[in-house]
Amino acid sequence: MQGVSVEWNAKDLVFWSDDALLAVNKPGGMLVVRGGFDDSPYLAQVLEPAFGRVWVVHRLDRQTSGILVLARTAEAHRNLNTQFQEHTTTKVYHALVHGDPPWDERTVSFPLRRDGDRRHRTVVDEEKGKPSSTRLCVLERFGRYALVEAIPRTGRTHQIRAHLAALGLPIVADALYGGGQRLALSNIVPGASRGADPDQPLIERVALHALRLTIVHPITEEIQTFVAPYPTDFSVTLSTLVAY
């Protein structure tokens, strides 16, 4: 998906707004901030013509879809930055993984070190890694695949991807942490001939979606939870796994 020119409509991305905040369902494949020499459209660039200046508070990997909040004032930006830095927010992700976890729930506490190998990945490092914790829960099992809910208690780079890979449960289509094996109908039903091309991937990017985010509103001080529905590629993939 990287390098492909895509047109995004700002008003299609924003599903909640007020004078302080925008809540966005970011598509997989979209950059949150400008990407060096990559001239692809990034989130603020797409939003600002329609909504005015916005401040980025937190990020999602390019291929990850789901909920992001952006500040519309400097005051809201400072408030939200503090919440994310102090880990008082709650983030819930759903990931489709290769494998069948031998547990229903567990907490992973492998210490992680950013940029830990030649591929610049986040790696488990018992000596130099920073404390990292992710709560995992299996939501559905599909034989060789599973839908897992992940709640990170710390905010390390690529934390969920690195923790799942360390457990031998890499996220589907994650080329950096899991070999990038894509999921097509032919992977689910060997010899399948249904549809135009059974080898066409059902999902072509990291199968990770930021589903839910809970914050304290920077103006009203009310607890607010935003939920970003699954995008089409994620929901179609799950429906196909359920069907077969």
| Active site residues per annotation | 61
- Helix (H/G/I), strand (E/B), else coil: 166: helix
The candidate with the shortest Cα–Cα distance to 161, out of 149, 140, 177, is 177
**CA 199/CA 227 separation, integer angstroms:** 32
Do 140 and 96 form a contact (C-beta atoms < 8 A)?
A: no
Residue 72: CA atoms inside 13 Å, Cβ hemisphere, count? 17
107 token code pair: 């907490």
Residue 132 CB contacts under 8 Å (≥ 6 apart), including other chains: 108, 109, 110, 111, 112, 154, 156, 159, 163
The candidate with the shortest Cα–Cα distance to 172, out of 107, 236, 244, is 236
60 token code pair: 């999602």
Owner of token pair 């983030």: 91
Which H helix or E strand runs over 97?
Answer: strand 90-98
